Amino acid sequence: MPKEGPFAACLICASTDTQTVATNQSFGINIFQCRSCGFVQSEFVSDRGLQLYYANFYRPRLDERGLIAHREKGKAQADGQIAYLREQKPGLRVATALDYGTAEGSLGHELRAISDRVFVTEMDPQFVELLKTDPLLTLIDHGKLGGGDFDSFFDLICISHVLEHLTDPYEAMDLFGRLLKPGGLLMVDIPNEVRMLEHGFQARGHLSYFTTQSFSRFVETQGCFDLLEIRTCNREVDLFIGSRFTAPEQYSIPLARDGTTIRALLRCREPAARRNTRTHTFDHPALSSEYSARILLYFQLLAATQARVAQLEQELQRHKGQSPLARAVASAA
């Protein structure tokens, strides 16, 4: 299909000068790179499409052993994140904190060491059930966050490995700009995976592929935050690539030359100082037409393939009753 207009527009600079670099194996769409600013992203996925994917394909139901392993991993990651906050803001103590997309709640629990009240959100039903019975955390429905009751409410928001899963990460950043008090802090963890993608690695469900440079431009374009500090941490990208993507996580590494995780601390600007310069928009009617055309094409290819398979099966059945000599004569003919 042709790559034109809104389907291939860069989220950061809105350029349509793009090149396809891979196929997104989670969603069956293209991943493209902007030739103007270098940002790498996937094509559009609707909110409904994302909901269906995460409900049915992203994470299997965890048994007790799997949940323990998930908690151990989450605790190791959370320890590094809290250490980072204390490094950047010695003596940090806040009244209210939000862990947006907390999973089983590991970071939420660790945030209690620096916050009087900790709120969490989560979409995975199996984790939601756990969080509902957790007396140490206050679970909030995502929909209620946008209703106005929590505007300028939080001193600190943490979002760990969530932005890369969103069709429109600006929407989340706009929401955080509303939820945070002016001067409030936003800590972001995202994968540093462009070079890994170039070597064939794809994490499940990712739609945006940031570098420290492109994330800095993204923050500037969104306009609600000052970027206080940005770095990479965890194992080195070269180590991960060299291990054929088997090298384990190393959450204890707080600063790496080119680590697999980008970590940043942002400060929410006063409303008068916010400057949103975003020019990219999603043209939903055009996107729907593009999807319809692709579905029709794939349906036609499937029908043609099925017809060819049926033809080959018929030929095989005819040849089964023939002698080797007859089959050889038929093949030569």
First to last CA, the chain: 39
- In angstroms, the CA 195 to CA 192 distance is 8
Which of 2-6, 294-298, 302-306 has the least mean pLDDT?
Answer: 2-6
Residue 45 has what pLDDT?
86
* pLDDT tier at 286, thresholds 50, 70, 90: low
Task: Kindly report, residue by residue over 191-233, the tens digit of the pLDDT.
Answer: 999 999 999 999 999 999 999 999 999 999 999 999 999 999 9
Question: Is 27's pLDDT higher than 60?
Answer: yes
Q: Are 10 and 32 in contact (CB under 8 A)?
A: no
Q: What average pLDDT does range 72-89 have in this prediction?
A: 96
- How far is residue 111 CA from its own chain's centroid? 23
Extract the tokens encoding 323. Answer: 């002698």
Q: Could you give the domains of the chain?
A: 53-273 (3.40.50.150)
The rounded mean pLDDT for the chain is 90
Q: What average pLDDT does range 122-138 have in this prediction?
A: 92
Residue 278 has what pLDDT?
94
What DSSP line would sit under 194-222, residue for residue?
HHHHHTT---TT--EE--HHHHHHHHHHH
- In angstroms, the CA 7 to CA 292 distance is 13
- In angstroms, the CA 293 to CA 78 distance is 44
Q: What average pLDDT does range 26-53 have in this prediction?
A: 90
Residue 2 has what pLDDT?
38
* 33, 66, 204, 321 from 70: Cα distances, Å: 33, 6, 16, 57
Question: Is 1's pLDDT higher than 60?
Answer: no
239-262: buried (b, 16+ CB within 10 Å) or exposed (e) per residue? ebbeeeeeeeebbebeebeebbbb
Residue 5 has what pLDDT?
46
Residue 287 has what pLDDT?
66
